[in-house]
Structures are given as structure tokens and as C-alpha cells.
């Protein structure tokens, strides 16, 4: 198993309701940053918008706590960071890493099917600075639970079965690397890297948001990570929503 990067504390639990829920409580109780919690199973895992995240044994369920010196308005950068770190941790396990694609805002696809999801939750302190940030990762390593609205995938179906502990160690190292780059160079390198691994330029996408559905040609990400779609000859910017399957 790969060694956990220096400075990280990796806590491994056989079973938890949710790694993120536990870490949220610890964050509110002033737990220092760089604590990561790995569960072999979850009984109440959750994804975006409170959806249930099925959590059979063998997959990755990991949440980590950060306390970056950053403004709350910069949270989209940390969401991009989580996606890039997970993609880079899983890519070496595949014969063809190009089969991994990022789906805005928080999914990782393998040959177009959902392989992993990321959930970022944060609290802002005084002056609208980030007080704490919890990033939760769920990735299908050995089992691909069926989804009601889209295909799902797992690494085992493509000839690789990394252990969750090994993936966790690699992921924490990638988080450290991307964090150093973000703090040194700003969000621009993350936006550029995300677009390299995101949808094909000009792909037709449908975004579901609070105001309904919007379809258009993908035109990349804005400088702050917002999605750009061209509809009726006009490029529109979306800071929230979800791309349909």
C-alpha cells in the first residue's frame, strides 16, 4: 500500500453512516485540517442534493478536511481541485487513462459511465473566509451500483482492482500537489487542466438547474470554473446546475 503523505492523518473505519457527516461534526468542533476518514462501507452515504450514495464494500469512500486561507467566493476552485486530484489518482490504474473524463461539476466518467462523484461542503467564517472545507469522494473500484438515470462503471470491469487504502494515499498526495499549485498560481492552471479532461469542445450538453433545463454547445469553463454554454448564438455562464446524463 502507498504511504500516506506526510502531515495527513488517515483514519480507517469498518463502517460509518457517512464519512463526510462524521468529518463535518469534527470540523465544527475545531478538528485541525489534513484529517482524512476512509470507510470500508457506508450505511447512509450521500451525494449531490442529498441523493443516496450506495456504498458496498470494496469501493472508495473517503472524506478529507482542509482549512485553506481562502475566500468563500473561491470555493469553485477547490471543487475543481478535488475532481482533478481524483482523476489523477485513478488514471495510472487504467490501460487507457484517456477513458476518464470529468463531468461538470462533480463527476468522473469512465467510457461515458459514472465512475465517481465528489461532494464539497464548507463553512464561511468572519469576513467570508473559508473556515473549513470537507471534500467527500466516492469511487467505484470493484462494484458499480446501478443508477436510475445513467450508466455506471467500476475499475474492476476494466481489469484493475486497486485497494481503497492505496487509492486514498494516492489521492491525498494529488490533493497536496494541486493545492500547492492553486496557492502558488491561482485557479487558471486548474481550469486549463479540467478542460483538458472535460467534455469535447462543442459537445451538446443539457444543464439542469433551478430554472429548468438549458441545452447548448459546450464552450469550456469561465475563469472562475463556471460552465459556458452557447445557446442561440450567445455564450451563457452557469455557476450551478447539473449536466444531464
CATH superfamily of 9-197: Bira Bifunctional Protein; Domain 2 (3.30.930.10)
Look-up of cell digits 475543481:
80
CATH of 204-243, picked from 3.50.50.60, 3.40.47.10, 3.90.45.10, 2.30.30.100, is 2.30.30.100
Q: pLDDT tens digits, residue range 176-215?
A: 999 999 999 999 999 999 999 999 999 999 999 888 999 9
pLDDT at residue 55 in the model: 83
Residue spans in the chain of domains classed CATH 3.30.930.10 = 9-197
Residue 1 has pLDDT above 60, yes or no: no
Share of residues in the chain with pLDDT > 70 (%)? 98
What's the pLDDT tens digit per position in 22-80? 999 999 999 999 999 999 999 988 876 667 777 899 999 999 999 999 999 999 999 99
CA 16, chain centre distance (Å): 20
**From the CB of residue 57, how many other CB atoms can be counted at a distance below 10 Å?**
14
CATH 2.30.30.100 in the chain, residues? 204-243
Mean pLDDT of 132-161: 94
Q: What mean pLDDT is predicted for residues 112-135?
A: 93
Mean pLDDT of the chain: 94
Helix (H, G, I), strand (E, B) or coil at 133: strand
Among 82, 144, 137, 159, smallest CA distance to 113 is for 144
Q: Are 211 and 242 in contact (CB under 8 A)?
A: no
Pairing of strands 9-16, 35-42: parallel
Q: What is the pLDDT of residue 50?
A: 64
Which pLDDT belongs to residue 149? 83
| DSSP structure class, residue 71 | B
Q: Which residues contact 184 (CB under 8 A, 6 or more apart)?
A: none
51 contacts 149 by C-beta, under 8 angstroms: no
The mean pLDDT value for 118-139 works out to 93
Average pLDDT of the residues in 84-100:
96
Amino acid at each position: 500500500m502507498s504511504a500516506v503523505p506526510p502531515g495527513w492523518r488517515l483514519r480507517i473505519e469498518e463502517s460509518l453512516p457517512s464519512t463526510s457527516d462524521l468529518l463535518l461534526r469534527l470540523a465544527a468542533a475545531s478538528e485541525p485540517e489534513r484529517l482524512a476518514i476512509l470507510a470500508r462501507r457506508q450505511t447512509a452515504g450521500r451525494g449531490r442534493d442529498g441523493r443516496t450514495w450506495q456504498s458496498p464494500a470494496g469501493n472508495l469512500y473517503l472524506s478529507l478536511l482542509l482549512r485553506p486561507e481562502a475566500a468563500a467566493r473561491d470555493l469553485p476552485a477547490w471543487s475543481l481541485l478535488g475532481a482533478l486530484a481524483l482523476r489523477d489518482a485513478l488514471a495510472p490504474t487504467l490501460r487507457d487513462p484517456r477513458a476518464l473524463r470529468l463531468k461538470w461539476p462533480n463527476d468522473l466518467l469512465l467510457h461515458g459511465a459514472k465512475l465517481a462523484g465528489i461532494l464539497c461542503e464548507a463553512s464561511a467564517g468572519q469576513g467570508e473566509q473559508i473556515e473549513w472545507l470537507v471534500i467527500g469522494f466516492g469511487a467505484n473500484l470493484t462494484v458499480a451500483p446501478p443508477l436510475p438515470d445513467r450508466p455506471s462503471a467500476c475499475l474492476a470491469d476494466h481489469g484493475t482492482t486497486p485497494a481503497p487504502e492505496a487509492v486514498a494515499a494516492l489521492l491525498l498526495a494529488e490533493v497536496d500537489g494541486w493545492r500547492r499549485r492553486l496557492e502558488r498560481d491561482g485557479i487558471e492552471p486548474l481550469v486549463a487542466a479540467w478542460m483538458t479532461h472535460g467534455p469535447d469542445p462543442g459537445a451538446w450538453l443539457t444543464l439542469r438547474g433551478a430554472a429548468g433545463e438549458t441545452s447548448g454547445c459546450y464552450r469550456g469553463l469561465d475563469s472562475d470554473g463556471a460552465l459556458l454554454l452557447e445557446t442561440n448564438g450567445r455564450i451563457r455562464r452557469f455557476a450551478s446546475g447539473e449536466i444531464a446524463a
